[in-house]
Amino acid sequence: MRRKKGRGAEDDTSEIDLTPMLDVVFIMLIFFIVTASFVKESSIDINVPETQENPPPPSDEDDAPILVIITSTNEIWMEGRRVDIRSVRANIERMHAESPTVPVIVKADGKSKAATFVAVADAAREADVYNVSLIAPDRE
């Protein structure tokens, strides 16, 4: 005589095997750990010196450095006027022709982008001026 399974009887073959799912989770975990160790962030480390209370005054007006000011909104100022990035090279070439020994000093605001400083430094190098310095802005 055969017995029929009632509603309360459980079938042993209806279990879910979680082993493949755990294998996939562990493989993904290992993958993310290994790839995270190879990710390197690229950045420019800039150590801006502290501002001096009494900087030495320039000895002569002709020996004044070529000053480029970068504001927090990435505007470039030279000789008291706003300058476009495309004309920075021409201005530096003109000022360098007048005083060939003076350096280029870039006074960049802390909120300005590094790309603006790099563009100014590249323009100075294209104008054959390789003495480019970055100084901290004045603190008011």
pTM metric for this prediction: 0.56
Which tens digits make up the pLDDT trace of 28-49?
999 888 887 776 666 666 666 6
Which of 21-30, 45-54, 109-118 has the least mean pLDDT? 45-54
58 has pLDDT over 80: no
**How big is the CA angle at 87 (ends 90 and 69), to the nearest 5 degrees?**
100
Residue with token string 């901290």:
136
Give the pLDDT of residue 110. Answer: 84
60 has pLDDT over 60: no
* The pair of three-digit structure tokens given for residue 17, joined into one six-digit string: 């095997």
Q: Which of 104, 97, 109, 100 is nearest to 124 (CA)?
A: 104
55 has pLDDT over 60: no
User: Which one is predicted more confidently, 4 or 64?
Assistant: 64
